[in-house]
């Protein structure tokens, strides 16, 4: 996308989130920073040697955008709001570019960006993204997974606006979990630590002792799935990661 589109979306996101004029300007500058100086990310070659590679603006690695979102979230939780807004702005830049279809071998790139630059942003779309957002790491990931490049300029702009509002709100809003979510986490953690973990170890030990007493080594095979049972308790790990989003 052109700078105009990135800045228009940044303005709409900042207004929807009611950011201060100072942080609104930070978001604006961050949203065009990758076009000014690029963005280099750390990679490792086959021998494990580190090297820096320029990040693609179109079809970027979703993992890198997610890392920017995590960096922003940690900054917010630590009270570094300016850093958080800066990281979100850069993440939004790559998210927005990813909504634009390049065509075969990038043949549509210039035409697509020019056509989008002539369109007017729907601020209501940004507001819809902000209102529909959840302060959740899994919601943030779902946003990134749902992005699809579009050949239609208006569709691409609308998607960029919607996902930008949703991602920014998911990262920059709500430092504390809802009471219902926190209660579920505490109950699930108690059940996991006092029920699932002890039961799995007890079953594994019982299987091992039984195999010794019965002189049947095959019985010990029961111990292995029993030991892995805690890792299969998906709700616990889901909520644990959600709590990490809140620094808990």
Give the whole-number percent of the chain exceeding pLDDT 90.
Answer: 42
Q: Using CA atoms, how far apart are residues 224 and 208, in angstroms rounded to an integer?
A: 10
Asked if residues 173 and 17 have their Cβ atoms less than 8 Å apart, the reply is yes
Q: What is the pLDDT of residues 87-138, one digit of tens each?
A: 999 999 999 988 888 776 555 666 777 888 888 899 999 999 999 999 999 9
Counted residue by residue, the chain has a size of 248
Q: Average pLDDT, whole number, for the chain?
A: 83
Q: Using CA atoms, how far apart are residues 100 and 97, in angstroms rounded to an integer?
A: 6
Q: Is the pLDDT of residue 45 over 80?
A: no
CA angle 241, 245, 248 (to 5 degrees): 80
Give the whole-number percent of the chain exceeding pLDDT 70.
Answer: 75
What pLDDT does 37 receive? Answer: 66
190 or 221: which carries more pLDDT confidence?
A: 190
What pLDDT does 58 receive? Answer: 53
Maximum CA extent, the chain: 80
213 or 146: which carries more pLDDT confidence?
A: 146
Q: What's the token pair of residue 195?
A: 């029920």
Considering 9-18, 29-38, 235-244, the range whose residues carry the highest mean pLDDT is 9-18
Which residue's entry shows tokens 């946003």?
A: 143
> What is the pLDDT averaged over residues 27-44?
76
What pLDDT does 53 receive? Answer: 58
196 or 87: which carries more pLDDT confidence?
A: 87
Q: What is the pLDDT of residues 223-244, one digit of tens each?
A: 556 556 666 678 888 899 899 9
What pLDDT does 40 receive? Answer: 60
What pLDDT does 223 receive? Answer: 56
Whole-model pTM? Answer: 0.78
**170 membership: H or E segment, kind and range:** helix 153-172
What pLDDT does 49 receive? Answer: 65
- Other beta carbons less than 10 A from residue 203's beta carbon: 16
Q: Is the pLDDT of residue 163 over 90?
A: yes
């Amino acid at each position: 996308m052109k700078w105009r589109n990135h800045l228009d979306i940044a303005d709409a996101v900042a207004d929807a989130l009611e950011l201060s004029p100072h942080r609104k300007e930070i978001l604006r500058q961050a949203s065009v920073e990758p076009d000014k100086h690029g963005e280099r990310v750390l990679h490792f070659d086959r021998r494990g040697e580190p090297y820096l590679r320029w990040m693609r603006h179109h079809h970027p690695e979703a993992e890198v955008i997610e890392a920017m979102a995590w960096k922003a979230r940690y900054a917010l939780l630590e009270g570094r709001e300016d850093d958080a807004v800066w990281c979100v702005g850069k993440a939004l830049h790559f998210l927005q570019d990813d909504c634009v279809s390049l065509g075969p071998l990038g043949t549509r790139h210039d035409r697509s960006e020019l056509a989008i630059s002539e369109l007017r942003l729907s601020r209501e779309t940004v507001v819809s993204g902000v209102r529909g957002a959840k302060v959740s790491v899994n919601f943030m990931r779902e946003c990134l997974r749902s992005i699809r490049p579009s050949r239609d300029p208006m569709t691409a702009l609308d998607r960029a606006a919607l996902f930008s509002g949703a991602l920014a709100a998911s990262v920059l809003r709500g430092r504390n979990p809802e009471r219902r979510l926190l209660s579920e986490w505490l109950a699930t953690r108690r059940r996991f630590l006092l029920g699932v973990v002890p039961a799995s170890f007890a079953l594994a030990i019982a299987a091992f002792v039984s195999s010794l007493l019965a002189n049947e080594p095959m019985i010990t095979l029961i111990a292995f799935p029993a030991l892995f049972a805690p890792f299969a308790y998906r709700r616990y790990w889901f909520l644990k990661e959600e709590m990490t989003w809140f620094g808990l």
